[in-house]
């Protein structure tokens, strides 16, 4: 039996009436305003980097529980001022920005000092290394379980007994060649495009950018293959990289990260999973791991 046809105007009106029924719900911004001081934690000065560019500061929080050996090597490089005067080497559209020594492949690379020339890849770690995992119930195509640990996006496989950091926007990793031990932290990159989750468990991730992502994501794209800057292209210089602990208190950024174990963060995730009206006309009831970032703010 054929159903009565509706006019285009009637269909449009019907759709709008149905879509407008989404209830008004608190936004992420509303929840941040409602949060209490106990919902936030300061960055750890011993494991937070300040990369000073000509255009401003990039703040990177490291995750030693997931890559302790690579991070120890990076912190050695930073303490010995290895990165000072180096440059952004690569800006590939919808992918990554990468930095390090422009002369690394020449006959005169910058000496690594007391840092190790090779560090074994730390693509995943035992579950016992992560005591702060808070599961996100949404499905994921790359891992049996996803969630957050101390604000970092993580995935895990309980059957294999392993967990790892996920390649979300702003995550920072160690560049390498084919060998799994061919990286040492002297070349780092930050994800500036859509989350390349296929890189999970193939590259060592060491942390994430908390502040300054626009300085990296807005860089001119490199003209060579994979977005590397050519000889005639200008590279942005790195003025310095320092541990937050080595920066005078008055010059620190004083950032706080919402505690992923705080109940309010579950509300933050749900605000992105089940968006309310009146602007939203459809709510998917789902949110990807990389679309549920932990809020960061300057300490009040």
Cα separation, 233 vs 236, in Å, equals: 10
Q: Where are the beta strands (DSSP E) in 105-254?
A: 125-126, 133-136, 145-149, 152-157, 162-165, 171-174, 188-191, 205-211, 238-243
In angstroms, the CA 10 to CA 210 distance is 48
For the cut 60, the answer to whether the pLDDT of residue 7 exceeds it is: no
Closest CA to 45 of 238, 205, 212, 242: 242
pLDDT at 14 over 90: no
- Flag whether the pTM goes above 0.85: yes
In terms of phi and psi (left: phi > 0; alpha: psi -120 to 50; beta: otherwise), the region of 212 is left
pLDDT number for residue 16: 44
**Residue 19 clears pLDDT 60, i.e. is over it:** no
User: pLDDT tens digits for 113-123?
Assistant: 999 999 999 99
CB 294 within 8 A of CB 265: yes
Give burial (CB, 10 Å; 0-12/13-18/19+) of 190.
buried
State yes or no: pLDDT of 272 exceeds 60: yes
Cβ distance 66 to 126 under 8 Å? no
The span from the CA of 63 to the CA of 48, in Å, is 9
Of residues 91 and 15, the one with the higher pLDDT is 91
Contact 286, 137 (CB under 8 A): no
How much is the pLDDT for 21?
82
How far is Cα 7 from Cα 27, in angstroms, rounded to an integer?
36
For residue range 174-233, list pLDDT tens digits in order.
999 999 999 999 999 999 999 999 999 999 999 999 999 999 999 999 999 999 999 999
Higher pLDDT, 146 or 15: 146
Q: Reply yes or no: is the peptide bond before residue 278 cis, omega within 30 of 0.
A: yes
Q: Tell me the mean pLDDT in the region 276-292.
A: 94
Range of lowest pLDDT (21-25, 39-43, 264-268): 21-25
User: What percent of the chain stands above pLDDT 70?
Assistant: 93
- pLDDT band at 9, cuts 50/70/90? very low
Identify the pLDDT of residue 20: 59
Tell me how far apart the alpha carbons of residues 82 and 238 are, in angstroms, rounded to a whole number.
11
Nearest to 169 by CA among 193, 204, 141, 140: 193
Q: Using one digit for the tens of pLDDT, what is the confidence trace for 96-140?
A: 999 999 999 999 999 999 999 999 999 999 999 999 999 999 999
pLDDT of 92 higher than 70 = yes
Sign of CA dihedral 111, 95, 134, 212: positive
Q: Are 299 and 260 in contact (CB under 8 A)?
A: no
Burial bucket for residue 84 (CB in 10 Å: 0-12, 13-18, 19+): middle
Q: Please give the Cα distance from 247 to 144 (Å, whole number).
A: 41
| pLDDT averaged over every residue in the chain | 93
How many residues can be counted in the chain?
300
Q: What is the dihedral of CA 82, 83, 84, 87, to 10 degrees?
A: 140
Distance, C-alpha 59 to centroid of its chain: 11
């Amino acid at each position: 039996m054929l159903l009565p046809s509706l006019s285009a105007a009637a269909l449009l009106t019907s759709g709008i009436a149905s879509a407008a029924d989404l209830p008004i719900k608190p936004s992420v911004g509303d929840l941040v305003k409602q949060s209490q001081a106990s919902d936030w934690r300061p960055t750890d000065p011993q494991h937070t980097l300040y990369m000073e560019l000509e255009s401003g500061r990039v703040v990177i929080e490291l995750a030693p529980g997931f890559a302790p050996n690579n991070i120890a090597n990076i912190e050695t490089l930073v303490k010995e001022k290895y990165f000072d005067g180096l440059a952004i080497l690569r800006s590939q559209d919808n992918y990554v920005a990468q930095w390090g020594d422009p002369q690394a492949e020449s006959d005169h690379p910058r000496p690594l000092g007391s840092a190790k020339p090779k560090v074994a890849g730390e693509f995943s770690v035992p579950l016992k290394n992560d005591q702060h995992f808070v599961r996100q119930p949404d499905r994921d195509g790359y891992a049996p379980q996803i969630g957050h640990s101390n604000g970092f996006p993580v995935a895990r496989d309980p059957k294999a007994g392993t967990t790892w950091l996920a390649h979300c926007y702003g995550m920072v990793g160690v560049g390498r060649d084919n060998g799994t031990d061919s990286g040492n932290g002297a070349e780092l990159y930050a994800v500036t495009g859509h989350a390349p989750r296929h890189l999970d468990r193939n590259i060592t991730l060491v942390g994430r950018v908390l502040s300054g992502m626009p300085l990296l994501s807005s860089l001119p794209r490199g003209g060579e293959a994979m977005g590397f800057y050519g000889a005639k292209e200008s590279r942005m210089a790195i003025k310095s990289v320092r541990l937050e602990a080595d920066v005078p208190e008055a010059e620190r950024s004083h950032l706080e990260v919402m505690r992923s174990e705080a109940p309010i963060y579950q509300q933050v995730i749900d605000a992105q999973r089940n968006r309310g009206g009146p602007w939203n006309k459809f709510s998917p009831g789902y949110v990807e791991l990389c679309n549920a970032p932990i809020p960061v703010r300057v300490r009040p």
